[in-house]
A and B are shown apart, each in its own frame.
Chain A
Amino acid sequence: QVHIVQSGAEVKKPGASVKVSCKATGYTFKNFGIHWVRQAPGQRLEWMGWINAGNRNTKSAESFQDRLTISSDTSTTTAYMELRTLRSEDTAVYYCARSWVGLPIDYWGQGTLVTVSS
């Protein structure tokens, strides 16, 4: 049974960094990829990036290119999303989610609220 559990809520000051973890169980981690999607209050879902857990290749939306790092650790079946130089507009719920290569998301984590406030 696929299970994806994310780390807890974070409160950060502008200019700081945040790192959210995503622990996946119930399947062969390296055979799939992990996406990161965020949702600001009252806004649409926004795709941020993706990592192939097998070869660790990543793709990121250009709007995050310089601030976003996505990584994974097959030994702990955990993916990570680090966003740097936070600003108030980065306040959102951040989701990680699984997909097979070339297919869309099928399982989602529960979400992690990141609040950026001075």
Chain B
Amino acid sequence: DIQMTQFPSSLSASVGDRVTITCRASHDIDSYLGWFLQRPGQAPKSLIYAASSLQSGVPSKFSGSGSGTDFSLTIDSLQPEDFGTYYCQQYSDYPHTFGGGTKVEIK
């Protein structure tokens, strides 16, 4: 199975901050990577597919980059609704494994 590693596992940030989260794959996954946000007690929400393409309705403050094994998600001007846990997922090969998550908390 392809292992997905995210770092940091958690971070504290203030409203208005710019934040970057990193995801690393154990094997080359080309650009077959998605990003998701899960707020406490809610189902995940899809943000990005193909490493850098925004899902429909997702604001441009979210941006993704990377290919191969190293990827990142950047969130500009953090707002209260952006706090929660972010997950990456590879869909290059089965099983479609998720990273361990990065919890973004309010400072």
Chain A residues packing against B (C-beta within 8 Å): 35, 37, 44-47, 50, 59, 61-62, 95, 97, 99, 102-111
Chain B residues packing against A (C-beta within 8 Å): 32-34, 36, 38, 43-46, 49-50, 55-56, 87, 89, 91, 94-101
16 A/B residue pairs, CB under 8 Å, sorted by A: A37-B44, A44-B99, A44-B101, A45-B44, A47-B96, A59-B94, A102-B91, A104-B49, A104-B91, A105-B36, A105-B44, A106-B46, A106-B49, A106-B55, A108-B44, A110-B43
B94 partner, pick from A61, A95, A99, A105, beta carbons under 8 A: A61
A47 partner, pick from B43, B49, B95, beta carbons under 8 A: B95
Contact A95 B44, beta carbon cutoff 8 Å = yes
B96 partner, pick from A35, A107, A110, beta carbons under 8 A: A35
Contact A46 B43, beta carbon cutoff 8 Å = no
Residues of A near B43 (CB, < 8 A) are 95, 108-111
Contact B45 A47, beta carbon cutoff 8 Å = no
A45 partner, pick from B32, B55, B89, beta carbons under 8 A: B89
Chain A minimum-CB-distance residue to B32: A104
Most B CB contacts (10 A, CB to CB) among A62, A108, A111 go to A108
Chain A minimum-CB-distance residue to B38: A45
CA distance A109 to B43 in the complex (A): 7
- A44-B100, A104-B34, A105-B34 known; A62+B95 contact, CB < 8 A: yes
Residues of B near A45 (CB, < 8 A) are 36, 38, 44, 87, 89, 98, 101
CA distance A102 to B6 in the complex (A): 23
